[in-house]
Amino acid sequence: MKKMWGGRFKKSQDRLFWKFQSSIDYDKELAEYDVIGSLAHVKMLAKCKIIPLKASRAIIRGLEEILKDIKKGSFKIGNNAEDIHSAVYACLKNKIGASADYMHTARSRNDQVSVDMRMYVKDKSCALKAMVTEAQKSLLSLAERAIDIIIPGLTHTQQAMPILFSHQVLSYVEMLERDKTRLHRAGESCDEMPLGACALAGTSFAIDRQYTAKLLGFSKISQNSIDAVSDRDFVLDMLYSIAVFFMHVSRFCEDMILFSTSEFGIIQIPEEFCTGSSIMPQKKNPDALELLRASSAEAYANLYSVMIMMKGLPLSYNRDMQIDKKHLFDSVKKAEYALDILTKLIIGIKAESSMGDKQGIDESLFALDAADYLVRKGLAFKNAHDIIGRLTLYCTEKCIKISSVPVSRLKSFSKAFDSDFFKIFSVKKSVMGKQSQGSTNPVLVKRRINSWVQKLKP
């Protein structure tokens, strides 16, 4: 394959170095965008009468054929291609001959790779947002199915207070909504058309950058040619959005793994997403959730790699920047996988037991309800907290349940205790008793489910 820059070299490149520097293995992902970018560029060159009309027509015809081949999956990348830009150029030259050589007028691969990447990020931000919505919908269906299930809510991984399982599921719907906002912003941050920056200084030809921007669907053009080819903020924005998304995914996975253990016994993970053990016949392991939890580490690593790669690079373009693609594509692919798998897996989750059904419920879950009981009897909260703390200690030391302490004994802790105190020991009452907006009260949780269903309707 003929290089895009052979002229000033007497020797050909070292074979090992050639292989090492080639990015075609991963930047072929940009093939479609590269052709679309070139089509717009060439149309602009023709409109501005910078290249011969005949050559521009031949190029456009050739590029359109290549685009079709790419979409069909029949685009052939030549042996020894350096990157996607040279691969497309070589293919075009093969198809239309010398006219292809006009295509790269007033353009460098530096602004070309930037426009390709921006189009990719723009598309992926939209596609991922749509996939996140599907994951939210499957969370909503789980929340609806499991609406009667009350579980011990945790803080510090210790049982804290009774909550609706659905309330916890909905908290992930909220998180995913914020992920969509971040993805959207990443899509916005790449909405600046860099073509025309060329290598770094712009061009001596009277090009029409607004026209190219319009053809490519960008709302504005970059205003500094140096910044245009040096900027990878939009890559970082995308990597960051995905990293935060994976932080949420990993917390969800961890919750589901915990809840599926025999110790918690709250959910069953669908068998299609589990594997067994080669030695312990009884095992059903939550591997899908574990691997997705681990994907968060890879998403963070991708973000950090590009952050560190960019740090301290002198302006403008440097070849170091080539590796941003590896990390970006990897994070996007992992996010796509995660979303597809999670959406299916969540549909299959069976929430199976409710604390209300369980024997031997840990009554410390009602400690705040007990303190609030005393507050309703007129005590200051701090005082009530102290009394229930001492009562809890007393019961722990005596190995008895708080609900089994007779009123006469309770009165030694506070005169405010009465026989109605025992009514608080119901998980249903506890959740029903919550009144604040956004709380775990089942009426409010149902309302929130409905408002999400409405909001996520197409």
If the CB atoms of residues 23 and 296 are measured against ligand ARG, the closer one turns out to be: 23
Alpha-carbon distance of 342 to 352, in angstroms, equals 19
Alpha-carbon distance of 405 to 425, in angstroms, equals 13
Backbone torsions φ then ψ of 91, nearest 5 degrees: -65, -40
| Catalytic site residue from 156, 262, 419, 436 | 156
Alpha-carbon distance of 249 to 293, in angstroms, equals 7
If the CB atoms of residues 156 and 319 are measured against ligand ARG, the closer one turns out to be: 319
If the CB atoms of residues 323 and 368 are measured against ligand ARG, the closer one turns out to be: 323
Minimal distance, residue 288 CB to ligand ARG, in Å: 34
Alpha-carbon distance of 321 to 302, in angstroms, equals 13
Alpha-carbon distance of 286 to 282, in angstroms, equals 13
Which contiguous run of DSSP H or E holds residue 151? strand 150-155
Which contiguous run of DSSP H or E holds residue 42? helix 31-47
Going by C-alpha positions, the residue among 458, 456, 365, 457 that lies closest to residue 177 is: 456
Minimal distance, residue 290 CB to ligand ARG, in Å: 34
Which contiguous run of DSSP H or E holds residue 90? helix 84-96
> Does residue 156 have an active-site annotation?
yes
Q: Are 431 and 440 in contact (CB under 8 A)?
A: yes
Three-state DSSP at 252 gives helix
Q: Show the DSSP H helices in 158-220 as ranges.
A: 165-189, 209-216
Q: Are 120 and 179 in contact (CB under 8 A)?
A: no
Minimal distance, residue 107 CB to ligand ARG, in Å: 11
Going by C-alpha positions, the residue among 10, 35, 24 that lies closest to residue 79 is: 24
List contacts with ligand ARG (CB under 6 A).
Answer: 23, 27, 83, 109-110, 113, 317, 319, 321-322, 325
Q: For residue 426, give Cα distances in angstroms to 64, 232, 364, 367.
A: 69, 56, 12, 12
Minimal distance, residue 325 CB to ligand ARG, in Å: 6
Three-state DSSP at 59 gives helix
Minimal distance, residue 317 CB to ligand ARG, in Å: 6
Minimal distance, residue 336 CB to ligand ARG, in Å: 22
Q: Are 294 and 338 in contact (CB under 8 A)?
A: no
Backbone torsions φ then ψ of 244, nearest 5 degrees: -70, -40
- CA–chain centroid gap for 36, Å, is 27
If the CB atoms of residues 182 and 232 are measured against ligand ARG, the closer one turns out to be: 232
If the CB atoms of residues 72 and 319 are measured against ligand ARG, the closer one turns out to be: 319
If the CB atoms of residues 88 and 379 are measured against ligand ARG, the closer one turns out to be: 88
Minimal distance, residue 326 CB to ligand ARG, in Å: 10
Q: Are 347 and 406 in contact (CB under 8 A)?
A: no
Backbone dihedral region for residue 352 (phi beyond 0: left; psi -120 to 50: alpha; all else: beta):
alpha
Q: For residue 374, give Cα distances in angstroms to 323, 400, 409.
A: 63, 21, 15
| Catalytic site residue from 277, 404, 412, 451 | 277
Minimal distance, residue 322 CB to ligand ARG, in Å: 4
If the CB atoms of residues 198 and 345 are measured against ligand ARG, the closer one turns out to be: 198
Q: Are 349 and 269 in contact (CB under 8 A)?
A: yes
Residues known to be catalytic: 156, 277
